[in-house]
Chain A
């Protein structure tokens, strides 16, 4: 409904535009000369065979033959403007068989010199077979209309008011118009210039029909600042399109580059150099922008940033299509500033460390990264058994075991092993057994007897 209203509005504007585009100079008063000139060609000599622009009008000097100021008053008629403001062709050489009045007779009159400039409706009497709409498909526009470049006097407003032919409104016109342009680019050139296409076609320079259209300053002005229009092709709506589009992109980049420029690819394919964008044009200028990235990274759901392990192992989506290894290092090596850590994470990280929504140790060494910083900030000093830090629980020493069992990682981020061995060694101190009910000492000893030895053989208290 909206589209129909839009077309109707454009059609109305076009009609007004055509009217306004007709010559505005003082027309020759044909009616006052009725009976004086027996034939049209008496004045318009050679019009049936000659160059239209040279013979369609009469030189004003010819008037002086009669209007010499003596026999008849002199007149100031200046003749027709050099260029018609519209885009209707003067087609006299092609119609030698037609009487002049067939096209030029003023409607409702019958007199010899009751004529006017030909209107489009007159053409339609013959040139719209089987249809009332002269813009219907199959009607050769160029037969009656000049191309934009041939009508330089036509204003941008007039061009903007052209109505769209009915076939342009079809749902799939955006996907079909390329073939139509290949068949008959002359039809396009009546209303369109190169800039009409470069607004959307990222690869315009490589498309022959587009380059066949002349560049036009009026159209360029009209499209300046206007986004392109890129309807989504049916293939792109398949659920697995984001995963499968690479096959088409690799084998037929020219089909993608109708809408997509290299920048579109590199918005997602971040770090792969030219490999992915080979065959794609660069987006350049406001009138040649391409379909931008959607902002949704293919295959990446809302939690992907912190839960992508399986996808990375499975390579679905294929990480290396977009990311170099350095991308992984940026986060996993811990020295960068990963965006999933909120600003000022130093001040707010304890809750995350205890809750472990992510595994901190995936990126940070507990001993080197966490403990190093905690010790430098005074939270990991020696003589930890003297207490004082965990002051929310008066019985911390008796109850810390539960905390340690539930999140030993956090303890380790401040305490070295000898802090615990002061009480939990099998050789010294209080000799409190730290093993839980499921601990299998024989199995652990098979794997690493040295681990047992830390508590059971070798630890020495170095202070009382």
Chain B
């Protein structure tokens, strides 16, 4: 029954921009986009044999074909072998609209998403309708008020919530904002007490969260900016907090260098979640240098036990040097990073793990009048998993609206404290085409997966395709949104 209601609501909202009310507005713009993927995945299947049939002793043994099994409980030895190839088809429909209602400063905005033909194996497939944002905004020269389902991004992350916010910016130098409402769980557009979270965690909260916070920012001549914010999320029954954090951001724009800094601090666990200081500067002869130091410790909400496990963070230094041939569109870049983890204090360390990690990247891109080339190599070495590989894209644009590209990749992955490696190699074609206010983009590719040291994971070839259709309309319909920059994605 709920599903039926949601679908009806989705259809109603999808049709809303076409209603006479919207059409009579001072101005509106809307976009409908449908995108679908066909993606082959090969998951894992847990398998077991009686411990008595496995030779040797100890927790870890080998089957006759070389498969490593773990013999821990229940008189069985277990391992994970490759499952059947599954084809998943996550498909989305998005509609976005904004309308200006004829009252100066008053506007409404919304973005909705429906999922259909989604496969159960794809994340959030049970969420058939998703209201990402939907709010009314009244904006004057010195202040702004917003109410509805809002989106707020800060150093504390990307948050949306049902409520309101008031921003005062009466003085150029000072900005004050306060917000509050019912919080949604990050990355879900749904309450913490909803089924989306309870389907995936047995200790999911049974109460929604209230959120409130405020932020003050100082802007000096658009050369220096400093802000600080406080945000708290609390159970609606007031019995406990879900989170309580503060953050600060700063940006200093000097003539030849931009310095950014940010800090996010968890008041509950008294932990610096992230601290970042970065400097970016153009150098003579087409060089550009970015240097960054950061500290990172993951943040966990208080409804979970994870913060009590005392996760440790790492410190990282990283940099990127790029060079653009003066007067041309050829850019080469090289960069890297090194991170060092804090001491884990995790007791027995029979097989000590790496406590540091390296990152290295090198690449380049060139864009001619019609042709373009983009490629690079990236390695990521650390504890847990590693990856080494390169990508190359060669393409051509046909005028400002058509892009066609071939891409290829070879990537070697060591993953998840698992024996063996995987090499994914292959390539495909992607395109995008803007026709007036219509846009279409798509891609397709084949990737060969080969495995080493995993007898139960036969090599296989993965096929994947993507198609996206978009249409913009309204009194302010601008150019289509399909990017000509290329297609990344999952």
A-to-B contact residues, CB < 8 Å: 239-240, 243, 263, 266, 270-274, 295, 299, 301-303, 307, 309-316, 324-326, 328-329, 332-348, 350-357, 359, 361-365, 367-373, 375-379, 381, 385-399, 401-410, 412, 416-418, 420-421, 424, 434-440, 443-444, 447-452, 454-455
Contact = CB atoms under 8 A, between A and B. Distances in A.
19 contacts: A340-B488, A343-B391, A343-B409, A355-B380, A355-B382, A361-B299, A369-B124, A378-B80, A390-B416, A394-B60, A402-B346, A402-B352, A405-B345, A406-B312, A406-B341, A408-B306, A416-B201, A417-B306, A434-B310
B302 A377 contact: no
A351 B78 CA distance: 25
B43 A376 contact: yes
B308 A403 contact: no
A359 B249 contact: no
B46 A332 contact: no
A311 B227 CA distance: 11
Contacts of B173: none
B58 A393 contact: no
A340 B490 CA distance: 10
A364 B262 contact: no
Contact of B478 (A271, A312, A328, A403): A271
Contacts of A357: 318, 337, 359, 380
B46 A381 contact: yes
Given A346-B490, A406-B312, A436-B312, A451 B411 contact: no
Interface stretch (B6-14, B16-24, B417-425): B417-425
A409 B479 CA distance: 40
B351 interface: yes
A400 to B, nearest CB: 8
B483 A339 contact: yes
Contact of B219 (A295, A314, A336, A371): A314
B59 interface: yes
Contacts of B3: none
Given A357-B337, A406-B355, A329 B416 contact: no
Contacts of B298: 356, 359, 361, 407-409
Contacts of A329: 111, 132-133, 151
Contact of B309 (A364, A416, A434): A434
A117 B230 CA distance: 90
Contact of B217 (A271, A313, A436): A313
Contact of A351 (B267, B270, B385): B385
A324 B98 contact: yes
A344 B187 contact: no
Nearest to B312: A405
B303 A451 contact: yes
Contact of A435 (B124, B219, B309, B479): B309
Contact of A239 (B45, B256, B296, B464): B256
A373 B122 contact: yes
B296 A266 contact: no
A302 B290 contact: yes
B382 A354 contact: yes
Nearest to A331: B158
Contacts of B262: 309-310, 313
Contact of B203 (A347, A418, A448): A418
Instruction: Identify the 9 closest CB pairs spanning chains A and B, nearest first.
Output: A436-B310, A337-B489, A401-B346, A365-B187, A273-B476, A377-B43, A351-B387, A314-B225, A378-B44
B268 interface: yes
A389 to B, nearest CB: 6
B488 A339 contact: yes
A354 B200 CA distance: 21
B12 to A, nearest CB: 20
Given A379-B44, A385-B72, A444-B308, A365 B185 contact: yes
B253 A450 contact: no
Given A403-B384, A405-B311, A390 B417 contact: yes
